Structure 1
Amino acid sequence: MDTTVPRDRTSGWVLSVRDLARGAGLQRELTTRLPAPAAVSLPLLGIPEGDPVDLELRLEAVHEGVLVTGTAHADLTGECSRCLLPLHEGITVDLQELYLAAPPAEGADEQPLVEHETVDLEPVFRDAVVTALPFRPLCRPDCEGLCADCGIRLEDAPAGHGHERVDPRWAALAGLAGTRETSNTETEER
């Protein structure tokens, strides 16, 4: 039983390869702009759904099916993992996938197929982008982050910014030291 989700043939990411079905050796170049699909991201960085993605592709008919190679460029938005400043940068990823004309023999690796004379680029694009994204994006490699005590950006903090920390294990002794100093002062005053 086939449990795969049927393709949305109206999606711009599903391309017709009917012209390549006549035989191996045929090829076509394609330059296009498509809206980004949903969920092309990691928690802190990604491509917003609907933002433009520029594609430069070569579709080639080969003996096994259709080979798609090319690049995709889009703009990323997110935030720095240390200081939470907004990030805006571009990403270019290489795309390469062989779409098989016929399903492989049982036990073979899962490989995308040419279905109804179309290929679906969305999974290939999503995989290429998500694996290229940094898990902890930074605004700059030497970003100092936020103060753990007050939350101010350390780069915006005044010189010598710091907070006195008392180890909770010694807090009781610090309290006794304060009591002893008070007792000594009272004794001296008498």
Structure 2
Amino acid sequence: MQFHMQEWMAKGLKATVQEKLDVSELFKGRADVLAAGPLHVSLEVAGHEGFVTASGELSIDLDLACSRCLDKVEEHTVIPYFEQFKLASAEEKDEGPEADENDEFVEVPTERLDLRPFLEEAVLVFMPFAPLCSKDCKGLCQSCGENLNERACDCKHEVIDPRFAALKDLFKD
């Protein structure tokens, strides 16, 4: 998904992009992502005077580990996408990253606009932070590791304030 910026801006070109991208490499080595389906891209890319816009939506099916009990959670995520790109001038390249923090444009340093890294970034930003298998998930026992959703364990869950832990043995004979 690469576009020649000057050509798109000068001619005001428009195109609809419908693609499936393999993003499995994006989640390689992550224990919280068990499986990832292809990223479905549905975008309208248009050239304007001085910038190029990409708008539409992305969708992906993810199998994640529950943040409490580690069971599989199936998530279908739909991500609205809108981004405006412009070519970075020589002066803007010298100013550094602080100058463009509040800009509404993403500056592209080369003539070629590759949308893939921007789409991958959107997927990572919109991923659920702490997925849960259910709202009332009890998680795992801290002592024995038993899944408390499946059965209760026999561990003692006595909570003692660590500041008073030395006092608990004071009255023992």
TM class, shorter-chain normalised?
Answer: 0.7 to 0.9
Give the superposed CA RMSD: 3.2
- Once the two structures are superposed, residues 87-111 of structure 1 have per-residue CA deviations (whole angstroms, 9 ceiling, x without a partner) of 2222111222222145374334173
- Equivalents in 2 of 1:114, 1:149: separation in Å? 53
CA contact (8 A) 2:17 2:42 kept: yes
Q: Is the 8 A contact 1:60 1:67 kept in 2?
A: yes
- Does residue 169 of the first structure (1) align with residue 166 of the second (2)? yes
In 2, distance between residues paired with 1:47 and 1:98? 33
The amino acid of 2:120's aligned partner reads R
Match for 1:96: what amino acid? F
Give the match for residue 142 of structure 1: 136
What are the residue-to-residue correspondences of 1:29-108 with 2, within 5 Å?
29-36=16-23, 38-39=25-26, 45-46=32-33, 51-103=37-89, 105-106=91-92, 107=95, 108=99
| Aligned residue in 2 for 1:9 | none
Q: Distance in 2 between matches of 1:45 and 1:72?
A: 21
Question: Which residue in the other structure is 1:115 paired with?
Answer: 110
Q: Is the 8 A contact 2:141 2:147 kept in 1?
A: yes
* 1:6 counterpart residue number: none
- Read off the aligned partner of 2:23 and give its amino acid letter: A
- Cα distance, 1:157 vs. partner? 1.6
Is the partner of 2:57 in helix, strand or coil?
strand
| Equivalent in the alignment of 1:28 | 15
Q: Distance in 1 between matches of 2:54 and 2:167?
A: 65
CA distance, structure 1, for counterparts of residue 138 and residue 147 of structure 2 = 8
The structure-2 alpha-carbon separation of the partners of 1:139 and 1:162, relative to structure 1 and needing over 3 Å to count, comes to same
Once residues 131 and 28 of structure 2 are traced to their aligned partners in structure 1, the CA distance between those partners, rounded to angstroms, is 12
Q: Shift of residue 129 of structure 1?
A: 1.8
Deviation at 1:82, TM superposition (A): 0.5
Distance 2:109 2:121 in 1: 18
Identity level (%): 25
C-alpha distance in 2 between matches for 1:150 and 1:59? 54
Extract unaligned runs of 5+ from structure 2: none
Give 1:163 deviation, angstroms: 1.7
> CA separation in 2, counterparts of 1:65 and 1:162?
62
2:125 aligned with 1:131: yes
Which segments of 5 or more consecutive residues in structure 1 lack a partner in the other structure?
Answer: 1-13, 178-190
Q: CA deviation at 1:16?
A: 3.0
